[in-house]
Amino acid sequence: MSLFQNMFEINQSKIEGCFEITPKIFNDERGSFVKVFHNKAFKEAGLENNFVEEYYSRSLKGVIRGLHFQTPPEDHVKVVYCIEGSVFDVVVDLRLGSKTYGKFETFTLNSKDANMIYIPKGIAHGFCSLSELSTLIYKTSTVYSPSQDSGILWNSVGINWPAEAPIISNRDKGFTDFKSFNSPFKKL
């Protein structure tokens, strides 16, 4: 049995190169313990294992963030997971030539299941907070670059967001819709 199979369950999503990863959870009378990253395990699985920046966001119920990405040459692989509350997580394929170009997939991330989404380059990411307060952790393979930071309009690809009156930043409301987006991403 490989190191990876011992620590994590990995499932290919319908978006090529995007995976849902569920780590092994160790529970006892004190609570739980979860290993969310192991360099050699990620490398063995063929996943990016050099993350250079990590940050988190805290969002109130009904907040939608996204759909975000960084453009080349600062595009990055991202791993996201929720350590408090629950989020409706979304990825959208922006890679020209990909058989899933323009398609999206949704996931529910929460602290109980400890599941993560591995997001390759060329994929937009967003989420909606489902709980009163949600904390989402992000690991990225490149450093945040304001000049390469971008997005597409949150409601332009047909996602059925679970918020009747979403709270969205002016920045996110101002992104280009998907149909008008000129993608710089190519399928590898």
Residues marked as catalytic: 68, 138
* Structure token digits, residue 35: 């290993």
Residue 17's CB is within 10 A of a number of other CB atoms, namely: 21
Question: What's the CA gap between 116 and 108, in Å, rounded?
Answer: 9
Question: What's the CA gap between 120 and 110, in Å, rounded?
Answer: 21
| Secondary element (H or E) of residue 106 | strand 104-110
How many CA atoms lie less than 13 Å away from 186 in the CB half-sphere? 2
Identity of the amino acid at 33 = F
